[in-house]
């Protein structure tokens, strides 16, 4: 289970993020503990009000718990992980909020603690929390028999495509996958040995080198989103300068945008727009199915919750009816029958709670499996669309020199091949004896 934590302020923004339904298909408030408020936003406002009596600016500790993609993790496993984390970080008894999110067939949890100790009005010190979270994460992989990422065994083996939250948000605005973007830039860096080869490799993927306003070398997407090369390649500026030269030798961000608009866009816009139109048409039935699946899953969970609530109330009344009142109740206490009945009721209530949890976990697991199957189709469609757009950029880079010389034949050839890439080929008919071979 990957654990990512951070100290932060902004309680209201945190609460809105936990409740966001635009990006998350299912949002389940699991627990609001230690606050007078019973809602997530109320708890975050309460934590902010408590922190106002101190000098602490980062009064919250936010943690995300992400299990392996294909594992169906029970709620008890998340609760056990949170207990271990609280013990490691010294957050036992601190007010907290726990929320489950489901997106693209994956279920993960968010926990937010208030760092403010109400008795001392000081913030809990969280020294070396990253290394402590790493230890807990390793133990969770071992305890549950999950395949451990190579980066846990050796930090040198970590996935080079891992990205920060800021990079993920940037890539999302550009309509790209953050891991794919990092992978593309690192691949271009690995296969090139100088400025020209690196520039061409990037341009074949719709990326362009430029001089950043503050970050030295940057790479710009075809749509104008800017990323730092040092962050994407995990290379120091000294190494980057030695390979591709000084940032001052490149166009600025604004100049690069103008270059794309005047030189690249006239060759590509028509074909990229066509490819995007085809991609949207292919995605529409899948997105409609996703929305239908989301609504159906929500209704199924609501029916289960309502049914379990009614059954729990009926069973509670039945258990309460076993305890006699008046003189009969006094006699039961004297003979010990009351204690036996009460113990029986507690045992039955415990197993009823376990039964309800198991039923809900089974429903969630079945729904996640159904959602993962749909996500596989969505991923395949996105991959096909990305490959079509990538092919267009590769052809634009290949014909760049010839087009710059305004060779009519090269332009016609580029237009012909681009149209073929943007328009999918009709399905081939199966060969057989009836073909007259």
In which residue are the tokens 């996958």 written? Answer: 177
| pLDDT attached to residue 382 | 83
Nearest in space to 185 (alpha carbons), one of 144, 220, 152: 220
d(CA 74, CA 77): 5
Burial of 236 (0-12, 13-18, 19+ CB in 10 A): exposed
Cα R_g (the chain), whole angstroms: 29
Residue 237 token pair = 């500026």
d(CA 366, CA 261): 49
Helix (DSSP H) and strand (DSSP E) numbers for the chain: 16, 10
| pLDDT attached to residue 194 | 84
* Residue-by-residue pLDDT tens, the chain, 437 positions: 888 989 998 889 999 999 988 888 889 999 999 999 889 999 999 999 998 888 889 999 999 999 988 888 888 999 999 999 999 999 998 999 999 999 888 899 999 999 998 888 898 998 899 989 988 998 898 888 888 776 665 544 444 445 455 545 555 555 566 677 777 888 888 888 888 888 888 887 778 888 877 667 888 887 777 888 787 777 888 888 888 888 888 888 888 888 777 777 776 677 777 777 888 888 899 989 999 999 999 999 999 999 999 999 999 999 999 888 888 888 888 889 989 999 999 999 999 999 999 999 999 999 999 999 998 898 888 888 777 777 766 666 665 544 544 444 444 554 455 555 445 545 444 444 443 33
| pLDDT attached to residue 21 | 84
| pLDDT attached to residue 397 | 62
| pLDDT attached to residue 434 | 45
d(CA 177, CA 335): 70
Phi-psi region of 10 (alpha: psi -120 to 50; beta: other; left: phi over 0): left
Residues contacting residue 216 through CB under 8 Å, at least 6 positions apart: 228, 229, 230, 237, 240, 247
| pLDDT attached to residue 114 | 92
| pLDDT attached to residue 222 | 74
**Contact status, residue 133 vs residue 81, Cβ threshold 8 Å:** no
- Our measurement of the distance from residue 169's CA atom to the centroid of its chain's CA atoms, rounded to an integer in Å, reads 11
| pLDDT attached to residue 68 | 87
**Contact status, residue 163 vs residue 182, Cβ threshold 8 Å:** yes
d(CA 12, CA 26): 20
| pLDDT attached to residue 150 | 65
Q: Which residues pair with 248 in a beta bridge?
A: none
End-to-end CA distance of the chain: 58
């Amino acid at each position: 289970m990957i654990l990512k934590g951070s100290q932060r302020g902004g309680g209201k923004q945190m609460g809105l993020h936990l409740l966001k339904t635009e990006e998350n298909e299912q949002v389940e408030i699991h627990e609001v503990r230690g606050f007078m408020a019973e809602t997530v936003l109320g708890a975050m406002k309460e934590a902010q009000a408590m922190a106002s009596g101190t000098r602490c600016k980062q009064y919250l500790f936010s943690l995300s718990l992400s299990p392996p993609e294909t594992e169906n993790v029970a709620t008890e496993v998340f609760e056990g992980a949170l207990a271990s984390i609280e013990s490691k970080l010294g957050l036992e008894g601190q007010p907290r909020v726990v929320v489950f999110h489901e997106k693209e067939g994956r279920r993960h949890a968010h926990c937010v603690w208030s760092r403010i100790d109400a008795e001392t009005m000081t913030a809990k010190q969280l020294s070396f929390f990253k290394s402590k979270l790493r230890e807990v994460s390793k133990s969770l992989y071992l305890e549950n028999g999950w395949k451990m990422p190579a980066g846990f065994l050796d930090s040198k083996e970590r996935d080079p495509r891992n990205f920060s939250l800021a990079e993920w948000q940037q890539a999302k605005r550009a309509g790209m996958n953050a891991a794919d973007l990092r992978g593309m830039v690192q691949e271009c860096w690995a296969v090139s040995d100088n400025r020209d080869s690196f520039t061409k490799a990037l341009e074949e993927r719709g990326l362009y080198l430029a001089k950043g306003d503050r970050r030295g070398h940057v790479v710009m997407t075809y749509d104008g989103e800017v990323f730092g090369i040092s962050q994407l390649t995990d290379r120091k500026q000294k190494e980057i300068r030695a390979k591709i030269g000084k940032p001052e030798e490149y166009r600025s961000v604004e100049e690069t945008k103008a270059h794309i608009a005047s030189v690249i866009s006239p060759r590509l816009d028509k074909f990229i727009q066509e490819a995007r139109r085809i991609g949207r048409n292919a995605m529409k039935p899948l997105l409609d199915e996703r929305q239908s699946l989301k609504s159906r899953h929500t209704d199924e969970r609501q029916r289960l919750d309502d049914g379990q609530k009614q059954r729990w109330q009926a069973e509670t009344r039945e258990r309460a009816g076993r305890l006699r009142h008046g003189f009969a109740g006094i006699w039961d206490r004297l003979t010990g029958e009351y204690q036996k009945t009460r113990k029986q009721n507690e045992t039955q209530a415990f197993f009823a709670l376990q039964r309800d949890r198991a039923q809900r976990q089974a429903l969630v697991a079945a729904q996640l499996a159904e959602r993962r199957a749909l996500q596989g189709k969505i991923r395949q469609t996105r991959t096909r669309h990305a490959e079509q757009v990538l092919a267009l950029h590769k052809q634009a880079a290949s014909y760049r020199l010839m087009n710059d010389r305004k060779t009519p034949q090269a332009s016609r050839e580029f237009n012909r091949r681009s149209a073929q890439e943007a328009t999918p080929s009709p399905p081939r008919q199966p060969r057989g004896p009836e073909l007259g071979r």
